[in-house]
Amino acid sequence: AQKVTQAQTEISVVEKEDVTLDCVYETRDTTYYLFWYKQPPSGELVFLIRRNSFDEQNEISGRYSWNFQKSTSSFNFTITASQVVDSAVYFCALIGKTSGSRLTFGEGTQLTVNP
């Protein structure tokens, strides 16, 4: 069985603040893939990043960074200097090697960035 938990239902910050979205996962697979998707008010899920279980290097892309720690089964997402356009629901998701190709999503975190 697989599970993804995003404990933060809603986060509200003021523009230019840094914000971290937490993601904790459970899987029995030793090979698995982790994802983050953004769902803006328009509704379309936008792919942000994919990591595989053998690559624990942190990744930075502009104002976005991801911290993958297998020891704590976490894959956290940080937005630096947040902007109003970052307001969206963010989903963490998992595919385990033995679970086919289905994405298992967390509950999502609603991020609101206020001007």
Partner 1 sequence: GAGVSQSPSNKVTEKGKDVELRCDPISGHTALYWYRQSLGQGLEFLIYFQGNSAPDKSGLPSDRFSAERTGGSVSTLTIQRTQQEDSAVYLCASSAVAGGNNEQFFGPGTRLTVL
Residues at the site binding partner 1, with contacts judged by CB under 8 A: 31-33, 35, 37, 42-47, 50, 52, 91, 93, 95-97, 100-108
- Only one residue has tokens 């996962």, namely 25
Nearer to partner 1, 100 or 115 (CB): 100
* SS (HEC) of 32-101: EEEEEEEECCCCCCEEEEEEECCCCCCEEECCEEEEEEHHHCEEEEEECCCCHHHCEEEEEEEEEHHHCC
Nearer to partner 1, 40 or 81 (CB): 40
CB of 106 to partner 1, least distance (A): 8
Nearer to partner 1, 77 or 82 (CB): 77
